[in-house]
């Protein structure tokens, strides 16, 4: 994924004299061939995604410790983030409420006093830490329960810093540790290999380097690991930050430029047809639906292929807009497909399109994994002959034997769940480049969408249909559980229905099914035996799920108990209450999606956030959900509340990780974009092999040749 470091572009004579540590090594040398790395540690490095010496030099420290700022335990105060050198006094492994979550609690001491420590989900620490060990911990200090401070989930360095390491200066790099790779060991290894940074060839073009006054690659690599001072570190970070914002935008702009140069299909904007479509709707369109439809219809009328994203909260009425686009493309003689990520969603779209387009004598076909062979043959025949014009389905519709000779418009729901590869297969079914309309209910703040979706034009629906009510959202503490169940019972007594979402169990979807099943049994036997409950989870066969969903929508059950895999977009207007168990474990975007399942009808709706977590950060997120109802606002808040790791959910979008760059830095992002535009105007096909290498990792998210 990450840009590789290659040997110098122009050979400037002999390579620099290598020290003993780097003899025979280059940046391309696989780590397996570096003799001083044992097999054991090699496995650890591989787990970190590091394969070559070059990768290692781009594995940047998580933070730097300023050696002048060491504290003693007596100096700790709640709210500080501190580094202390301590001795482990006692350790007590614990298991948390959810089985997979491990806690390690204990106390540490130094000459000045004691502190509590607690680690979450770091099982390897249990094996390597023992009372009496001298360790350095770095973490947030909170108020303890035993009259002494408490250090929460600190980073640990197991070995004592020796005098030899004084060579690293005041700013000591600290690397993320894994079971076999300690920060200290990495620091020493990288220090020895760092001279090879001088053989790295520059990845940014000279004119960009100059205009932006960026630090060269080699010195930047050195300063990232062993900075001379804060200023030098800031310059190095600026360079890599710029680079990380430059390449995705360059890739996106290239993709857009190449698309605009292609000829595709046209569907003329027939104003009368649009009016006729709107006139037969049982409601009037919202202003933002109107605007979005207009933008799409203008795109369809252009000869270049459309690539537009339609963003709007669950229930904002995207499908209606998509149906209008389908209507126009079909009137122009094209075939249209709508691809959804799951069978339930595909069925629902099929149903919606059928009722919206029946007045125009357009009859959508449905193709999913469970479609019977005979029926499938019949559908494929109708499509291949061009007689059927509208196909709705799951990825079953990209199979090779699905022929769509007239394909002109592809509508993809929840497009981030499909990759570029699937998209290309769809495109290849068409004779000419078809138009693409992607739909998503995942709100992406504008600051991010410029980069993440830089190759797309975006239409947003930012208002809900007027008959919608705000969903009343509240916390349910353990003590008020019974009241909450009573509330659900009352809703059902009034003829309404509800959902219960079971806790998210990361890394153990198997457990999720078990816990949902257990919750279903507990609720139906002990808590709500008087209600009709139905269970839905991801491990059920698709047919089963579809049948249960249908029965629930038809009112044959009162309460649907589901794992978090329950499909986005499910439309049951009679459902007015949704309870989310372990609410603090979900991201804001997902909670907002869940909440969107209710409030789709005429009745006041409620979202109950079950939680027993007191962590202030988790509370802040739930509070944001209570205070805000707009998905875009919540997405912005989520960005600011989320900490380290993958703060922008980039991996979910298939993006290479951003390690230094900050997508929220508008100024830098705009400079990087301007630089990418300049580069492209000089080299429109991006022939420069160095730049090609820089955008390679983005080929999974942006389409370019
Ligand atoms: P989305 O796909 O954005 O989740 P849908 O298109 O499925 O939303 O619409 C959700 C529900 O709202 C559907 O039942 C639809 O018929 C209805 N709806 C859509 N637009 C409007 C509107 N302008 N006024 C009233 N109801 C609408
Ligand atoms: Mg929908």
C-alpha–C-alpha distance, residues 43 and 272, integer Å: 65
Question: How far does residue 571's CA lie from ligand 1's centre (Å)?
Answer: 9
**Closest CA to ligand 1's atom 17:** 317
Task: Write down the pLDDT at residue 5.
Answer: 39
Q: Are 657 and 646 in contact (CB under 8 A)?
A: yes
Pocket test for ligand 1, best of 348, 464, 465, 592 (most atoms within 8 A of CB): 465
Return the DSSP state at 527.
I
Question: How far does residue 637's CA lie from ligand 2's centre (Å)?
Answer: 25
Q: Are 141 and 151 in contact (CB under 8 A)?
A: yes
| Residue position matching structure tokens 């969107």 | 596
C-alpha–C-alpha distance, residues 7 and 184, integer Å: 28
Question: Which parts of the chain have pLDDT scores under 70?
Answer: 1-20, 67-68, 95-101, 159-170, 415-418, 446-447, 505-510, 565-570, 640, 642-655
**Closest CA to ligand 1's atom 11:** 315
Nearest ligand, CA 572: 1
Pocket test for ligand 1, best of 281, 289, 315 (most atoms within 8 A of CB): 315
Nearest ligand, CA 593: 1
570 lines ligand 1 (CB under 6 A): no
316 lines ligand 1 (CB under 6 A): yes
Burial, 654: exposed, middle or buried (Cβ in 10 Å; 0-12, 13-18, 19+)?
Answer: middle
Question: How far does residue 411's CA lie from ligand 2's centre (Å)?
Answer: 12
**Closest CA to ligand 1's atom 22:** 465
C-alpha–C-alpha distance, residues 502 and 515, integer Å: 7
Spell out the residues 6+ positions from residue 86 whose beta carbon is closer than 8 angstroms to its own.
73, 108, 109, 110, 115, 134, 135, 136, 137
Q: Which two tokens stand for residue 607?
A: 């979202």
Q: Are 212 and 245 in contact (CB under 8 A)?
A: no
Tens-digit pLDDT profile for residues 487-539: 999 999 999 999 999 887 655 656 777 788 889 999 999 999 999 999 998 78
Burial, 538: exposed, middle or buried (Cβ in 10 Å; 0-12, 13-18, 19+)?
Answer: middle
181 lines ligand 1 (CB under 6 A): no
Q: Which two tokens stand for residue 283?
A: 């409601």
317 lines ligand 1 (CB under 6 A): yes
Task: Write down the pLDDT at residue 420.
Answer: 77
Helix (H, G, I), strand (E, B) or coil at 73: helix
Q: Is the dihedral of CA 620, 623, 625, 628 positive or negative?
A: negative
Strand partners, 107: 90, 116
Task: Write down the pLDDT at residue 164.
Answer: 40
C-alpha–C-alpha distance, residues 122 and 139, integer Å: 14
Q: Are 552 and 529 in contact (CB under 8 A)?
A: no
Helix residue ranges, H only, 523-614: 542-553, 588-595
Q: Please give, one letter per residue, the 3-state secondary structure of 470-526.
A: CCEEEEECHHHHHHHHHHHHHHHHCCCEEEEECCCCCCCHHHHHHHHHHHHHHHHHH
Question: How far does residue 698's CA lie from ligand 2's centre (Å)?
Answer: 29
Nearest ligand, CA 322: 1
Q: Are 143 and 150 in contact (CB under 8 A)?
A: yes
Nearest ligand, CA 573: 1
């Amino acid at each position: 994924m990450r840009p590789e470091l290659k040997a110098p572009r122009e050979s400037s004579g002999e390579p620099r004299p290598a020290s003993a540590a780097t003899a025979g090594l280059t940046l391309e040398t696989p780590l397996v061939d570096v003799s001083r790395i044992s097999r054991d540690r090699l496995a650890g490095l591989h787990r970190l995604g590091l394969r070559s010496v070059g990768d290692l030099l781009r594995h940047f420290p998580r933070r730097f410790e300023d050696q002048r700022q060491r504290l003693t335990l007596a100096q700790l105060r709640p709210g500080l983030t501190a580094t202390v050198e301590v001795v482990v006094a006692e350790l007590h492994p614990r298991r948390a409420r959810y089985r997979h979550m491990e806690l390690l609690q204990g106390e540490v001491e130094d000459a000045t006093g004691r502190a509590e420590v607690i680690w979450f989900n770091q099982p390897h620490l249990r094996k390597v830490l023992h009372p009496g060990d001298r360790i350095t911990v770095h973490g947030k200090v909170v108020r303890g329960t035993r009259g002494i401070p408490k250090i929460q989930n600190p980073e640990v360095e197991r070995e004592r810093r020796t005098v030899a390491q004084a060579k690293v200066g005041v700013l000591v790099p600290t690397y993320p540790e894994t079971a076999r790779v300690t920060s200290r060991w990495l620091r020493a290894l990288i220090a020895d290999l760092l001279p090879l940074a001088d053989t790295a060839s520059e990845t940014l073009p000279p004119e960009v380097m100059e205009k932006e006054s960026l630090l060269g690659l080699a010195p930047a690599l050195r300063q990232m690991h062993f900075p001379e001072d804060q200023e030098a570190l800031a310059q190095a970070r600026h360079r890599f930050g710029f680079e990380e914002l430059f390449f995705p935008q360059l890739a996106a702009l290239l993709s857009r430029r190449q698309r605009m140069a292609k000829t595709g299909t046209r569907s003329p904007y027939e104003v009368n047809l649009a009016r006729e479509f709107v006139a037969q709707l049982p409601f009037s369109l919202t202003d933002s639906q109107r605007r979005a439809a207009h933008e799409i219809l203008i795109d369809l009328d252009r000869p270049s292929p459309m690539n537009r994203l339609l963003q709007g909260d669950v229930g904002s009425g995207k499908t209606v807009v998509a149906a209008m686009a389908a209507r126009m493309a079909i009137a122009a003689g094209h075939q249209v497909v709508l691809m959804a990520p799951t069978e339930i969603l595909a069925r629902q779209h099929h149903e919606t399109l059928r009722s919206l387009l029946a007045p125009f004598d357009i009859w959508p076909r449905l193709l999913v994994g469970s479609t019977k062979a005979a029926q499938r043959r019949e559908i494929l025949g109708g499509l291949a002959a061009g007689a059927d014009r509208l196909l709705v389905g799951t990825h079953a519709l990209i199979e090779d034997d699905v022929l769509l000779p007239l394909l002109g418009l592809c509508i993809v729901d929840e497009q981030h769940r499909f990759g570029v590869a699937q998209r290309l297969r769809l495109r290849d079914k068409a004779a000419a480049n078809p138009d693409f309309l992607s739909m998503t209910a995942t709100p992406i703040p504008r600051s991010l969408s410029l980069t993440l979706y830089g190759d797309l034009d975006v239409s947003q629906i930012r208002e809900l249909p007027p008959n919608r009510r705000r969903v009343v959202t509240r916390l349910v503490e353990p003590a008020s559980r019974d009241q909450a169940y009573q509330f659900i019972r009352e809703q059902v007594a009034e003829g309404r229905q509800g959902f219960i979402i079971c806790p998210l169990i990361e890394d153990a979807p198997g457990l999720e099914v078990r816990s949902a099943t257990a919750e279903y049994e507990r609720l139906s036997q002990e808590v709500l035996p008087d209600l009709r409950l139905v269970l839905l989870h991801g491990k059920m066969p698709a047919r089963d799920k579809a049948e249960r969903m249908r029965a629930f929508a038809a009112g044959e059950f009162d309460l649907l108990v589901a794992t978090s895999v329950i499909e986005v977009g499910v439309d049951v207007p009679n459902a007015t209450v949704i309870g989310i168990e372990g609410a603090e474990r979900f991201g804001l975007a997902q909670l907002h999606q869940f909440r969107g399942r209710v409030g789709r009808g005429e009745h006041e709706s409620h979202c109950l956030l079950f939680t027993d977590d007191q962590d202030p950060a988790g509370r802040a997120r739930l509070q944001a959900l209570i205070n805000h109802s707009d998905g875009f606002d919540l997405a912005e808040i989520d960005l600011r509340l989320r900490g380290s790791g993958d703060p922008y959910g980039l991996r979910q979008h298939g993006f290479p990780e951003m390690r230094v760059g900050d997508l929220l830095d508008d100024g830098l992002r705009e400079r990087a974009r301007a630089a990418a535009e300049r580069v492209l105007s000089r080299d429109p096909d991006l022939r420069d092999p160095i730049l090609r290498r820089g955008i390679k990792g983005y080929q999974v998210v942006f389409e370019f040749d």
